[in-house]
Structure 1
Amino acid sequence: VLIGDSLGMVIQGGSNTRSVTMKDMLYHTSIVSKACQSALVIADMPFESYENTELALTNAKHLVSVGADMVKIEGGQEYEEIFRVLASNDINVC
């Protein structure tokens, strides 16, 4: 089950996903993970929540602490170091 930052448009009525905050993602991830205990729960890392490895690790740990089994980062090779840091800290990332 994916908790997507698209909730900014679908639930909050925004025109894009950029207004979605970590607080929003933590809230929705917590609720969904309680209802989906036997499913893989994936939470989007919202815009500007993974601009560097330290910030990405802190935010990913928060999402895992509220029930995410995996975090999702949009991007590719430019985030290779962030993928490595998260994986080395036992955080599943896609």
Structure 2
Amino acid sequence: MAIEYLSSLFAVGRQNFDRRFIKATGNTPVDYPQRVKIESAKKARESTRKAVNEGMYEVGYSDVKAFREVFRKITDMSPIDYKTKDNKDAVVS
């Protein structure tokens, strides 16, 4: 696994690597790439009219269900609800 490789590259144990990574980023090494992808998907939802599937593929997901679950876990809303919220905010502002 890549995380074991990184920890060995820095000559630290896996737990030590995880602890330092969390301290530096606020995320586990497993959660961090997901959060980065979802942040990119959020920006795409805010600035384009692309369908959820298009944005999902662009950030590296190929499974719609998995993407929606991770998106909801991170944002507390579905990708469609997120776009709707963004549109409502734009109208109110």
Structure of larger gyration radius: 2
Q: Which has the higher helix share?
A: 2
Greater strand proportion:
1
Larger relative contact order (CA 8 Å, sep ≥ 6):
1
